[in-house]
Amino acid sequence: MSTKPVTAGEIFLFIPNLIGYSRVVLALASLAVMSMHPKVCTWLYALSCLLDAFDGMAARKFNQSTRFGAILDMVTDRCTTSCLICFLCSTYPNWAIFYQILVSLDLASHYMHMYATITSGATSHKKVAKDRSSILSLYYTNSTVLFIVCAMNEMFFVGLYLYSFPPKTPPHLGYYKDIPLSYPTIILIFTFPVWLLKQVLNVIQMVAAANILAAADVEDRSKAAALESAKAK
C-alpha cells in the first residue's frame, strides 16, 4: 500500500488513533462508576483493553502506523492500569505499598524501554532484537503472546477489583475455608501465573533498557574522549 503525504491534523484522525481515543473515553467512563457499579465498570474497562488489539490491526491494515499512535497506545495502557491499581490501594490499604511498587515498576520499565529504543534508533518500542533479549523479542514481536500476557495481567487486577465487592448472596461454587470460591477468585487463580510473568518481564525490560542506555553513555564518552585527544594533538 502506498504512502502519501499527510498533515498533522490528518494523523490525529487516522483510524487506529480514533480507536485509541475511544479507549480513553471508555476508560474514563469505567473510572466514573468504579466505586459504585462493579459490573458496568468491568465491562467498560474490559472493552477499553480489548480495543488495544484492534488499533494495531487497523494500523497495519490501513498503513497508518504512527509515532503518535504508538505513544497514545502505551500511555493509555499505563494510565488505565495505574488508575485501577490506585483504586486497589484505597480498597486494600494494607497492601498499598505493594501496589505502589507495581505501578512504579510498570511505569519505570516502560518509560526506560521506550527511551532506550529511541536512543538505539529503533522505529518502534515493539521492535526488540533477539540479541538484546530473546524473551522480550518474543513478547513484543509475537502478537498472540503479547495479547495473552497483557489480557491476563489486566484480568488479574480486575479480579482483585471484583473481589473487593462482597457478594450479595453466597457464591454458587461454595467455600474453601475462609476464601470464597466466587468468580473473582477463579479469575485470580487462573490469571496469577501470567500476571507474575508480566512483572518478571517488566524487571527484565527495565534491566535491558538500563544496559542499552549505559552502553550509549559509554559510546558517547568514548567519542568525546577521542575528539578531545584529537584536538590536543
Catalytic residues: 77
Those residues with Cβ within 8 angstroms of residue 73's Cβ, 6 or more apart along the chain or in another chain: 20, 52, 55, 56
In the structure grid, which three cell numbers stand for residue 36, read together? Answer: 459504585
d(CA 24, CA 128): 27
Nearest alpha carbon to residue 27 among 12, 14, 46, 13: 46
Burial class (CB in 10 A: 0-12, 13-18, 19+), 53: middle
